[in-house]
């Protein structure tokens, strides 16, 4: 493990500080970069995420993906946790904390907006960054692809009705441009690039060399993403520090609870670590572009719901890195099947 991977948490922490400082000192620059977006997807961050995903996509073997139907347990756990557990635990935690635990600190109307934003995060499991977490935990690239692909197919039909039910509204309009562009940009395009690379490279040794060369770029992509995320929201963080903390607390609890449910269920069903770790992180992390887009369309860009989804963006990377570290430390607990 090189210096980039060994001190990844340090680089991310420095990136958070650099983003806050840069967003405060150079707001015009970060405003300009933040406006380079389409369908709520920032194009600069998209390129950085692509750098992180591409090395893993080079490992995809379509024959191995097809064989996953013979070992469906890991996929079943991921889907049950994502769609039958996660949205409802998020709604419960949001209501308990915003209406009761923090009820004396914020107004009732603002509390309801925060609840709505957190619910939208809970109904939007991750599409892109899970490939990064899978790579950091040495996950099975083929199984991760299958988990993400099936999850995205379910999201097309399940996101709107579950969100509408939990929000108590009659209809939630899915921003199809955000959903389809995100899946295309973060799954299809890097997958095609990875497949083409595998076909062009003549040996496994050459492929390993390319992957090793890309590792520093992957870390650069992750840290660069953190800098931009915190830079874009620097003023929001500085203007609303207390509210940011209040929103972050139930989001943190939700993330760790959902990971724990999936991870230990995977262990109970004797799934290999390379399936258990990334599968548990799909639900623990969020498809924040989709959540932000829906929050803005339903409640407005300056609403508490939009702020709550933004807080979800800010806490995700450091929290998920802590889960990556935990998953790597507990790998041997999965016994002979760990790989």
Partners of residue 38 on adjacent β-strands: 41
- Contacts of residue 201, Cβ cutoff 8 Å, sequence gap at least 6: 207, 210
C-alpha 79 chain-centroid distance: 15
User: pLDDT value at position 65?
Assistant: 82
Token duo for residue 286: 């969020």
Listing DSSP states for 233-270 in one string gives: THHHHHH-HHHHHHHHHHHHHHHHHHHHHHHHHHHHTT
192-234 tens-digit pLDDT: 998 898 888 877 788 878 877 887 888 899 999 999 999 999 9
287 three-state secondary structure: coil
pLDDT value at 335 more than 70 = no
- Contacts of residue 2, Cβ cutoff 8 Å, sequence gap at least 6: 215, 216
Listing DSSP states for 82-113 in one string gives: IIIIHHHHHHHHHHIIIIIITTTTS-HHHHHH
User: pLDDT value at position 3?
Assistant: 61
pTM score, whole prediction: 0.89
pLDDT value at 127 more than 80 = yes
Average pLDDT over residues 88-105: 96
Out of 16-20, 166-170, 271-275, 320-324, which region has the weakest mean confidence (pLDDT)? 166-170
pLDDT value at 314 more than 80 = yes
227-267 tens-digit pLDDT: 999 999 999 999 989 999 999 999 999 999 999 999 999 99
pLDDT value at 336 more than 70 = no
Percent of the chain with pLDDT over 70: 96
Residue of 60 and 324 predicted with greater confidence: 324
Average pLDDT over residues 49-60: 88
- Contacts of residue 49, Cβ cutoff 8 Å, sequence gap at least 6: 128, 129, 132, 186, 221, 225
Q: How far lies 258's CA from each of 48, 51, 132, 337, in Å? A: 27, 27, 18, 23
C-alpha 97 chain-centroid distance: 23
pLDDT value at 107 more than 70 = yes
User: pLDDT value at position 302?
Assistant: 86
140-152 tens-digit pLDDT: 999 999 999 999 9
Partners of residue 37 on adjacent β-strands: 42
User: pLDDT value at position 318?
Assistant: 92
**pLDDT confidence band for 116 (50 / 70 / 90):** very high
C-alpha 311 chain-centroid distance: 13
Percent of the chain with pLDDT over 90: 68
**pLDDT confidence band for 172 (50 / 70 / 90):** confident
**pLDDT confidence band for 339 (50 / 70 / 90):** very low
Angstrom distance (rounded) from CA 73 to CA 80: 11
User: pLDDT value at position 173?
Assistant: 80
Partners of residue 125 on adjacent β-strands: 286
126 three-state secondary structure: coil
42 three-state secondary structure: strand
Give, as one character, the DSSP assignment of residue 41: E
Inter-axis angle of helices 141-167 and 176-183, nearest 10: 170
**pLDDT confidence band for 170 (50 / 70 / 90):** low
């Amino acid at each position: 493990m090189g210096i980039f991977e060994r001190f990844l948490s340090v680089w991310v922490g420095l990136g958070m500080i650099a983003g806050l400082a840069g967003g405060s000192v150079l707001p015009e620059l970060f405003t300009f970069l933040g406006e380079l977006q389409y369908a709520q997807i920032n194009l600069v961050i998209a390129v950085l995420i692509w750098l992180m995903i591409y090395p893993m996509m080079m490992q995809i073997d379509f024959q191995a993906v097809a064989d996953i139907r013979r070992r469906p347990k890991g996929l079943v756990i991921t889907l049950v946790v994502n769609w039958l557990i996660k949205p409802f635990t998020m709604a419960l935690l949001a209501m308990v904390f915003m209406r009761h635990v923090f009820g004396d600190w914020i107004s009732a109307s603002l509390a309801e907006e925060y609840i709505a934003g957190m619910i939208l995060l809970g109904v939007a499991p991750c599409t892109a960054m899970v490939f990064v977490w899978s790579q950091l935990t040495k996950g099975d690239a083929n199984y991760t692809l299958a988990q993400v692909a099936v999850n995205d197919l379910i999201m097309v039909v399940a996101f709107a009705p579950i969100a509408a039910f939990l929000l108590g509204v009659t209809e939630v309009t899915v921003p199809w441009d955000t959903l389809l562009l995100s899946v295309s940009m973060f799954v299809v395009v890097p997958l095609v690039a990875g497949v083409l690379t595998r076909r062009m490279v003549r040996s496994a040794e050459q492929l390993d060399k390319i992957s090793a060369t890309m590792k520093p770029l992957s870390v650069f992509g992750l840290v660069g993403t953190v800098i931009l995320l915190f830079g874009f929201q620097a003023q929001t963080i500085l203007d609303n520090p207390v509210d940011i903390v209040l929103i972050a607390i139930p989001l943190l609890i939700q993330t760790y609870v959902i990971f724990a449910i999936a991870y230990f269920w995977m262990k109970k069903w004797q799934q290999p670590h390379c399936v258990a770790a990334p599968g548990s992180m799909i639900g623990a992390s969020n498809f924040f572009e989709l959540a932000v887009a829906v929050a803005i369309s339903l409640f407005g860009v300056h609403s508490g719901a939009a702020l709550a989804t933004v807080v979800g963006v800010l806490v995700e990377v450091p929290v998920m890195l802590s889960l990556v570290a935990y998953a790597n430390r507990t790998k041997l607990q999965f016994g002979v099947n760990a790989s």
